Chain A
């Protein structure tokens, strides 16, 4: 009896894991470019993709390696501003190289602010990553060089071209974004399913045991910070270049860091799928709420009320999630699928 109960906890088989992503990729490249309206792309899909990628990056650090960070938004800012400057100052640098260099810049800053993790854990580490948040925003505002001496520190996206094709249209930016997200997600997927990914989990689950069996704990933590910040940095490039097109340092504030943290909590820690589900929820939820509010209350439901109600409902939802489903939407999704599966068989 006990054996049967445990069977349900057996890890899912490989091909089942691959079927859904394959279907989603088909939709991403087939259906969406053909049928999606530009509103859907500009207002929903582009922020969704950038936030998903940032959440994948943070999940690697917090979900898999157990290092709590509140600096995500800072690493996005580093990515965005680095990409802007590389593009501006290096003649003829291909877009892909710009994005990689931006990611590497963010990784460098990430490692620096990850150093306290060698001594600090949990909330103490989270507080020390706040330093990244404040320092980066301050530096980008203080030194005009970063924004090419724009008086308000604003940067605008350059023309996006890959191999001579312009990607400035909505669908072009969508293709750039979706390709980047799929590529980096695949890399992260391979990583978490490799020995390195298992080292991350070992450090998260029991640091002492990990050290004793020979996991290089310090190097593993810094590697997690580096790769995570790289990905979040590239997400920052997508946020600035494909979604908003014009950003200022203040746009990458603490609220954004919390937003990304909420995405992985709602979506599910240590789950790549959770990052996407959480991001979808965070992006679609305010739109849904405003539609619902307008439908129920008509003109009374203005943007101020919307903003307030959004925060209240989101806060309540996070509390409900933490209590009822600590493993997030991803686990909920699994449970639903199992129930459907057991009913049909």
Chain B
């Protein structure tokens, strides 16, 4: 349906991806050596608490993310996963606690400086710019590197042209990396949902972030699209060494893809560790009881 050139990418990765989806068994050997070499924490949350009108969305949550790892945060609906990612990206301000990003400590992360701190994110519900083409959407991910003023843009002065050229090159690389060539000049609003999700990933990746926050990147996707997306996420880490924090509902995907998994339930962290450990944890089974098997199989 989407087009042969896009489908080809999935086939290319098919063996690798089916390995991931098969379960946690193969995780140990696919984890790169890179991790142990750079095991320092790039992001640390401590004692994070936030309440919305008396409802505690998060209480005393701590999370440590090592450089270069894929760190998943899972939990049932309303567990506080999205609140956590919104606090890291500065859209919510925590009532308690500290966030340390790459050595800098904040009680409130300044959202407008997020890109310059080396953090990029995607949104659970698409947050693309519908009136721009795919290429322009992706290019907007590097807007924090621009210095030229609007006058330089109108007059197309050298600095503005230089910035445009530099960004266009990065955008082309990202488009090639995520196999978006066929749709690069289309208005993003005309694309199917799965591709829009991928454009959003591209917009985050083009910023060359140190930390990438993915808020349910596979929500609402078909099994094929999920496998493709998992492949892209893994490739982004392996090729560029970006640290990834992944919020996901679909436990099956998470177990295969992540290095470590934290589990939230009712705003508290109930488990944290390697996928196999977390999966066997009685508290996690209790939190997911009755739904764990169904979600594992079908990825609801």
Residues in A lying within 8 Å of B, measured CB to CB: 2-3, 6, 9-11, 187, 190-191, 194-199, 201-202, 204-206, 208-217, 223, 227, 270
Q: A195, B163: Cβ atoms under 8 Å?
A: yes
Stretch at the interface among B22-30, B119-127, B279-287: B119-127
* Chain B residues with CB below 8 A from A227, complex form: 150
A-B contact pairs, 7 of them (CB 8 A): A2-B3, A6-B191, A10-B185, A195-B153, A213-B120, A214-B113, A214-B115
Mark contacts of B147-167 with chain A using CB atoms, 8 A cut-off: 1 yes-contact digit, 0 otherwise.
010100111100010011000
Contact partner, B153, options A190, A206, A210, Cβ 8 Å: A190
Q: How far is the CA of A270 from the CA of B114 in the complex (A)?
A: 29
A-B contact count (CB 8 A): 110
Besides A6-B183, A198-B139, 9 other A-B contacts (C-beta < 8 A): A2-B3, A9-B186, A11-B186, A194-B153, A196-B153, A209-B123, A213-B120, A214-B116, A223-B150
Q: List CB contacts (< 8 Å) of B34-84 with chain A.
A: none
Residue of B nearest to A198 (CB): B136
* Chain A residues with CB below 8 A from B112, complex form: 211, 214, 216-217
Instruction: Given A10-B185, A195-B163, A202-B140, decide whether A212 and B111 contact each other with a Cβ distance below 8 A.
Output: yes
Q: B127, A215: Cβ atoms under 8 Å?
A: no
Residue of A nearest to B4 (CB): A3
**Nearest 5 pairs of A and B residues by beta carbon:** A214-B144, A214-B115, A194-B153, A209-B127, A205-B129
Residues in B lying within 8 Å of A, measured CB to CB: 1-3, 89-91, 111-116, 120-121, 123, 127-133, 136, 139-141, 143-144, 146, 148, 150, 153-156, 160, 163-164, 182-183, 185-187, 190-192, 203, 207
Residue of B nearest to A13 (CB): B185
Q: B130, A213: Cβ atoms under 8 Å?
A: no
* Chain B residues with CB below 8 A from A215, complex form: 140, 143
* Chain A residues with CB below 8 A from B163, complex form: 195
* Chain B residues with CB below 8 A from A201, complex form: 129, 131-132
Shortest distance from the beta carbon of A104 to any chain B beta carbon, whole Å: 14
Contact partner, B160, options A194, A204, A209, A223, Cβ 8 Å: A194
Instruction: Given A195-B153, A198-B136, decide whether A213 and B144 contact each other with a Cβ distance below 8 A.
Output: yes
* Chain A residues with CB below 8 A from B139, complex form: 195, 198
Contact partner, B190, options A6, A190, A196, A216, Cβ 8 Å: A6
Shortest distance from the beta carbon of B110 to any chain A beta carbon, whole Å: 10
Residue of A nearest to B155 (CB): A190
Instruction: Given A205-B130, A215-B143, decide whether A2 and B154 contact each other with a Cβ distance below 8 A.
Output: no
Shortest distance from the beta carbon of A271 to any chain B beta carbon, whole Å: 11
Q: A190, B154: Cβ atoms under 8 Å?
A: yes
Shortest distance from the beta carbon of A261 to any chain B beta carbon, whole Å: 19
Q: How far is the CA of A190 from the CA of B123 in the complex (A)?
A: 31
Residue of B nearest to A5 (CB): B190
